[in-house]
Amino acid sequence: MDAKQALKNTRAILLIDWPNKNVLETLTRVGFSVFVHGGPGPEEYSVYELKGGEIIFRRSGRRPDHADLVYSYRPVAELAQTVDEAQTVDAKILSVQSGISSNGGRTDAKAFWMTDEHMRCAQGQVEAAGWELITQPYIGDLVRENSGPR
């Protein structure tokens, strides 16, 4: 499944960190149900909704019951934790963005580069769970390019 097809089948997204507010705002504005795990604690969950053209955020204090896709902007070393969290919300698609560019390993909010070893590790963990892994393109751009009515 490619990234575009994955988004067509997605209604609810759990974000585990993000490179900038543009990601959560874009996902919310196009009509996804957006949940955010904004810290290490088990109660650090929020919900983002579009009401009257404005993005409203509220703390929910608990993880969502379900998410179709989990988006993670965390180091690859934390992938096992991300997979565990995705299992708790019954997600079948994991989108991982490294935030590291291939040209010298510089930080780039839209980058998705991983070493071959990290990519094999990510693919192995996600495939072992029976899910799809998306590592590119940048999810904010993909959503903007393919945003139709939800």
Domain at 44, CATH number: 3.40.50.720
Within-domain flag for 120? yes
d(CA 85, CA 36): 12
Identify the bridge partners of residue 72 per DSSP, sorted by sequence position: 16, 96
pLDDT digits (tens, 9 = 90+) for 62-98: 999 999 999 888 777 787 788 888 888 998 888 877 5
In whole angstroms, give the CA distance from residue 80 to residue 47: 24
> Are the C-beta atoms of 139 and 95 separated by less than 8 Å?
yes
Say if strands 132-134 and 54-59 run parallel, antiparallel, or are unpaired. Answer: unpaired
Domain presence at residue 51: yes
3-state class percentages of the chain: helix first, strand second, coil last, to nearest 5: 30, 25, 45
Banded model confidence at residue 120, pLDDT cuts 50, 70, 90: confident
Inform me whether the pLDDT recorded for 27 exceeds 80: yes
Residue 107 DSSP class: B
Whether pLDDT at 145 is above 90: no
Q: Report yes or no on 100 lying in a domain.
A: yes
Residue 123 lies in a domain: yes
Residue 41: burial class (beta carbons within 10 Å; 0-12, 13-18, 19+): exposed
Assigned domain for 86 exists: yes
Based on the structure, what is the number of domains in the chain? 1
Sorted by sequence, the CB contacts under 8 Å of residue 69 that are 6+ apart come out as: 6, 7, 10, 12, 13, 14, 91, 93, 94, 95
Whether 150 is in a domain gets the answer: no
Per-residue model confidence (pLDDT) at position 66 = 95
Query: What is d(CA 108, CA 74) in angstroms, rounded to the nearest whole number?
Result: 13
Q: Whole-angstrom Cα distance, residue 65 to residue 80?
A: 20
Question: How would residue 30 be classed by pLDDT, with cut points 50, 70 and 90?
Answer: confident
Residue 130 is part of which domain span? 3-145
With a cut of 90, say whether residue 50 has pLDDT above it.
yes
Considering the domain boundaries, does residue 97 fall inside one? yes
